[in-house]
Amino acid sequence: MVATVDDAEEGMLSPEHNTTAKPKIMYDVTYEEWLAFQQKPPISKDDVLDMHIFLKDFNGDFVQLFEGEKDTEETLK
């Protein structure tokens, strides 16, 4: 059983009994972002390990973490 997206948009979730229906897919990235990600290499074991180490020591201060992010984004363009 799954709840459909249409139900969620109406503020009500209900079980979907038709298991043969094709599931609706929702994305949290734009089409342009998806295309850009397709050009990048896959996530490696080292990437996962680096993120683990970062999160293990991260103090939870997202404001400090993302300070200057706009400057970085402009530089990358």
List the chain domain ranges: 2-76
In a 3-state reduction of DSSP, which class is residue 49?
A: helix
Instruction: Please name which of 46, 26, 45, 24 lies closest in space to residue 34, comparing C-alpha atoms.
Output: 26
pLDDT reported for residue 26: 75
Does pLDDT of 76 surpass 60? no
Higher pLDDT, 5 or 64: 64
Is the whole model's pTM more than 0.85, yes or no?
A: no
With the C-alpha atoms ordered 11, 17, 21, 23, is the resulting torsion angle positive or negative?
A: positive
Cβ atoms of 3 and 15 closer than 8 Å? yes
pLDDT reported for residue 22: 77
Does pLDDT of 63 surpass 50? yes
pLDDT reported for residue 67: 83
Q: What is the pLDDT of residues 10-49, one digit of tens each?
A: 555 555 566 677 777 777 888 899 899 899 999 999 999 9
Half-sphere exposure of 11 toward its Cβ, with a 13 Å CA cutoff?
0
* CA distances to 9, 14, 24, 56 from 61, in Å: 32, 37, 35, 13
